[in-house]
Structure 1
Amino acid sequence: MRKIQRITVLGAAVAAALALAACADASPAPAPAPTPAAPATTAPPAATGETTTAQVFGPACGLLPQGEAPGSLTAMAERPVATAAADNPQLSALTTVVRATGLGSALDQQKAVTVFAPADTAFVALRAELGEAEYAELLADTDALSALLTLHVVGTRYDASGLVAEQTVMSMGGAELTVGGTAQAPTITGPAGTAAAVLCGNIPTANATVFVIDKVLLPKE
């Protein structure tokens, strides 16, 4: 019960922040002020964190649908992140969370984000950790689910190399996430100290790079 209450405290605020960010992204940008021409020796642009299907890695990638079937790498690359996740057979529990919070549209409207997507097996492990009653309470609490969801979204788009180079990133829920391991096998540690391994990483979608992970990240005790 206490764990659910801690998550709920954060939920409404972070859900509103994500929705506002989506609205801001959808608004037309003001006309930029004229800028002087760049010198010929300008530095190369920073990496965008975008990936291709050829850069996907991880032991569970082979479990995805193949070819152009819904949920395949090819299909996901063409859709915004929440819509893409809804077709992925490894992410049905996460899709239930997204639909319960009503934040699917807000996620799809983000311009360039990183999403740590707990696999269905991660939610099975969370249910075992919380117990059936508390897990059911979590699923019925949209504020708690909103807080949980935004803990898994970072407002900058990273590929695996970029994540490992950063070492720490800030979630859209306002919590610091620690990145360890290597670009071939990164780990993501949440505020409560749970370290998640990447099951399938560098998955491209239209507006996000997705990392399917084996644990659900939780807020600090």
Structure 2
Amino acid sequence: MKKKSLLASALAAAALAVLPVAAQATATSSVLTFSPTPEPSDMMTAEPSGAPSEEMTGPSEGPSEGPSEEGAGVPFGPGCRQLPQTGPGSPVEMAKERIANAIAQYPRLSELVAALKQSALADQLNSADGITVFAPTNEAFSQLPQDVRDKLKSDTAQLKKVLTYHVVSGRVKPSELKGGTLETLEGGKLTVKEENGEYTVNDAKILCGNVPTLNAVVYIIDKVLIPPQ
């Protein structure tokens, strides 16, 4: 009986010695296999679920007439039919580039691209992370009165003020355009609303929205937005 008691005591001591090591091994394994979700940057607080990530190469679906919250980065609107389906200027290719480089692929936005370069905003927007750009077409710029166009060409400070009025911090979801206001980088506010399936920003119509780029989302509009004086 004494031998059995000694054997039992030895086994119990061995089990107590092994237990902390096993627990430590389990904890270490848990740490090694845990992969935390990266924290978003300060400018991405308004990023929608479904916005394209840095690794995303393009939208999973083709353009649609109305916005779809289920499709990540799926462009919508009647003007989306004018976007190339493949190659430069297509949603898939624009999603691979930062904002200024992405819209430079689409000829109908060449006036905006030139204005961004003139005002030294192209690099600034390219380096931003998580923004929304309301992009006027060339036709929108041509609708401006000649004196306004001349003023913007000669006054870089005023041009920058107008262009930053088209930029909002965070990737804006289509659902956020149904009604309300958005604060711009210029400091003013934009009024957005949806009526009978038509989305507007101030008095400009959204021709093609929710177009993804590597660091931004683009809404192509039919008018240049002028900030209040």
Return the TM-score normalized by structure 1.
0.70
Deviation at 1:46, TM superposition (A): 7.6
For 1:148 and 1:179, how far apart are their aligned partners in 2? 18
Distance 1:47 1:209 in 2: 10
The alpha-carbon distance between structure 1 residues 125 and 209, as it changes in their structure 2 partners (threshold 3 A), is same
Question: 1:49·1:158 contact (CA, 8 Å) conserved in 2?
Answer: no
Q: Which residue of 2 aligns with 1:139?
A: 153
Q: Over residues 120-152 of structure 1, what are the superposed CA-to-partner deviations in whole Å (9 max), with x where a residue is unaligned?
A: 1100111xxx22x44223212211111111000
Secondary structure of 2:143's counterpart equals: helix
1:70 Cα deviation from its structure 2 partner: 1.3
Partners of 1:53 and 1:203 within 8 A in 2: no
Q: What amino acid is the match of 1:185?
A: E
SS of the residue aligned with 1:180? Answer: strand
In percent, how many aligned pairs have the same letter?
39
Corresponding residue number in structure 2 for 1:107: 125
Q: Which amino acid aligns with 2:181?
A: T
* Structure with higher RCO (Cα < 8 A, 6+ apart): 1
Confirm whether residue 207 of structure 1 aligns to residue 215 of structure 2.
yes
Distance 1:201 1:184, change over 3 A: farther
After superposition, give the CA deviation of every residue in 1:3-39 in whole Å (9 maximum; x if it has no partner).
Answer: xxxxxxxxxxxxxxxxxxxxxxxxxxxxxxxxxxxxx
Aligned-residue offset at 1:186: 1.4
How many residues matched? 166
Alpha-carbon separation, structure 2, partners of 1:185 and 1:204: 20
Select 1:57's aligned residue among 76, 90, 108: 76
Give the alignment's TM-score, normalised by structure 2. 0.67
| Residues 45-194 of structure 1: pairs in structure 2 closer than 5 A | 47-48=48-49, 50=51, 52=59, 54=61, 55-67=74-86, 69-126=87-144, 130-131=145-146, 133-164=147-178, 167-181=180-194, 184-189=197-202
The structure having more radius of gyration, on CA atoms, is 2
Partner deviation per Cα, 1:129-185 (whole Å, 9 max, x = no partner): x22x442232122111111110000012112112326x1110000001111115953
Report the alpha carbon displacement of residue 65 of structure 1 after superposing the two structures with TM: 2.1
Structure 1 residues not aligned, in runs of 5+: 1-44, 190-194
